[in-house]
Amino acid sequence: MKNSKQFIQRLLSPAGISLNGSEDYDIQVRNSGLYDDLLAGGSLALGEAYVRGDWDCRSVDQLIERVLRADLPKKFSGIGNAEVLKHVLLSKLTNRQTRSRSRIVGKEHYDVGNDLYEAMLGRTTAYTCGYWKGLEATPKNLDAAQESKLELVCKKIGLKEGDKVLDIGCGWGSFAEYAAKRHGAKVVGITISKEQVELGMKRCEGLPVELRLQDYRDVDEKFDHIVSLGMFEHVGPRNYREYMKKSRDCLKDDGLFLLHTIGSNTSTARGDPWLGKYIFQGGVLPSIQQIGKASEGVVTMEDWHNFSTDYDKTLIAWQANFENAWPALKATGKYDEAFKRKWDYYLKMCAGTFRARTNQLWQIVFSKDGVNGGYESFR
C-alpha cells in the first residue's frame, strides 16, 4: 500500500496536486485503501471512491481541471485497464443507443425526480448550457442565461409566428414553452422520459405545444425548423448518420436545423466510464470529425458556434442550487448522502472538464441544401 501511495503521488505531482495537502484542489484521503483501488480501477474507481467517502476535496472542479490540463489521463491510461477494455469492447461491438437501451437513461437519470431538477435547474428547467454573454456568472443570473440561450436559438433558426418546430430531446419543455409564448410558434417535443412529458405538459398548458414520449427514429412529419438541445450526446456514433438523415427527412426545404451539443476534442466510441455507469448510460460526446462525417452529403453546415466556457458557469450555478436545496430534498426521503456525493461529483467534475477546455459546447446550424444568399450568424 505504501508503494501504491507513492506511485499515485508521483502521477499527480505534474499537476501540482498533493495527497492530504493544504490546497483546495488537493485530495484528502479518508480510506487508505484508495491507492490500490485507483491502481485497479482508474477513473471509474476515483468516482466510486468519492461517492463512498474514501476521499474528499474542497474543490473537485479545480482538481479535475488540473488533472486534465496536466494531461494526466494519458499517464493513467494503463490503470484500470480491465474496466476500460470492457467499456471499449462494448462500445465497438454493440450499439449501446438502440431504442430499448436509450430508454434506460430516461428512466435512471431524467426520471430520478422532478423535484430535484426543478430545484437545481431554476425557473426554466433547461438542462443545457446557458448563454452568459453580458451576464455576471452567479447563480442568481442562471434563469437569465437560460432565457438568453433560448432566444439565441430562436434567432438562429429565424423563428416566426406560426412556424412548426420539432424539438428533439425536449426535456421539461423549456424551449417549447419559450418559443410558443415569445414567438407564437407551434412546437412538437419528443423525449424518452415520462417525467419530462408529465411536467412539461403542465408547464405548457394552454400553449400550442405537444410533448411526446417518442424516439427520434419514429418521427415521420415535416417541420419548418428542428432544434435539438443537449440530446445528441445520447445518440451514439453508430447512429449519427441515421440521426442526420432523419433530421433532413423531417425538415421542410427552406427550414433550418439547430444542433446544440457537448463535444469532444477527439473522436471516440465511448464516454467517460464513471459518467457512463452512474449518470448517462450509453452517453458519448461527438467530435467535429464525427459530426462532419455524419452530416456530409446529408445537410449543409451554415454556422458553428463554440461557447463551451459558459457550461462551466452553468454547472457551477446548478451545483449551488442543488446545495441550497439539499436539506429540503433530503427531507423527502428519496435521496441519501451517497446520492448527494454522486451528484456533487458529477456536477463539479463536468465543470472542470469545460474549464480545462477538453469538453466543448457547440451550436451548429444546418440547412438542407444551403441558404439562398447565405446565412446570417447570430451571437
> Which residues form the catalytic set?
350
* Residue 304 grid coordinates: 458553428
Pairing label, strands 28-29, 55-56: antiparallel
Q: Is the separation of the CB atoms in 156 and 378 below 8 Å?
A: yes
Q: Which helix (H) or strand (E) holds 173?
A: none
Cα 277–chain centre separation? 15
Query: What's the 3-state SS for 46-102?
Result: HHHHHHHCCEECCCHHHHHHHHHHCCHHHHCCCCCHHHHHHHHHHHHHCCCCCHHHH
DSSP 377: P
Nearest to 362 by CA among 253, 251, 262: 262
For 333, the 3-state DSSP assignment is coil
